[in-house]
Amino acid sequence: MLDIEIPGFGSVKLQHLVTDFTGTLSFDGRLVPGVMERLLRISEFLNIHVLTSDTFGTAASELKDIPCIAYVLEGDYHDIQKEEYVEKLGAGSVVAFGNGNNDRKMLRAARIGIAVAGGEGCAVDILMAGDVHVKSILDGLELLLNPKRLKATLRF
């Protein structure tokens, strides 16, 4: 669990990290260098869930050494499926990461939504859906490993 008080933003008690894979944790279907190491450290205090459309078909192999639940979405309306997943976990205990249009509802639902602008860019709607915008997934994961940075960003 990650428990921090953020003046003006409130009490944050996170139990789950929910993230998109394609374009968020990965670039062209491969984990961004440094992501695995950070997720391994984060897995010591948060449950990790990866929700993906798996555009490149590589999520299972890329995530095999990371203690996480990897869920490949099927059918249509991936944005709604991601939002519902977060709500089932208890949205108030979730930090969510995403970069694409299908992540916007998930970021809005989560206690903290982090919009990631990596190599694939970031959909404009995601910028408005998130509480925080980071220039890379590494910067975003570092916010959880160094929560005073998150506090400094979100405080009123």
In this predicted model, what pLDDT tens digit does every residue of 53-69 receive, in sequence order?
999 999 999 999 999 99
Three-state secondary structure call for residue 88: helix
In this predicted model, what pLDDT tens digit does every residue of 22-52 receive, in sequence order?
999 999 999 999 999 999 999 999 999 999 9
Contact 132, 150 (CB under 8 A): yes
Question: What pLDDT does 121 receive?
Answer: 87
Torsions phi, psi of 23, nearest 5? 85, -15
Cβ neighbourhood burial of 146 (10 Å; 0-12, 13-18, 19+): exposed
Q: How many CA atoms lie within 13 A of 26 on its CB side?
A: 21
pTM of the model: 0.96
Structural domains present in the chain: 2-154 (3.40.50.1000)
The one-letter amino acid at 148: K
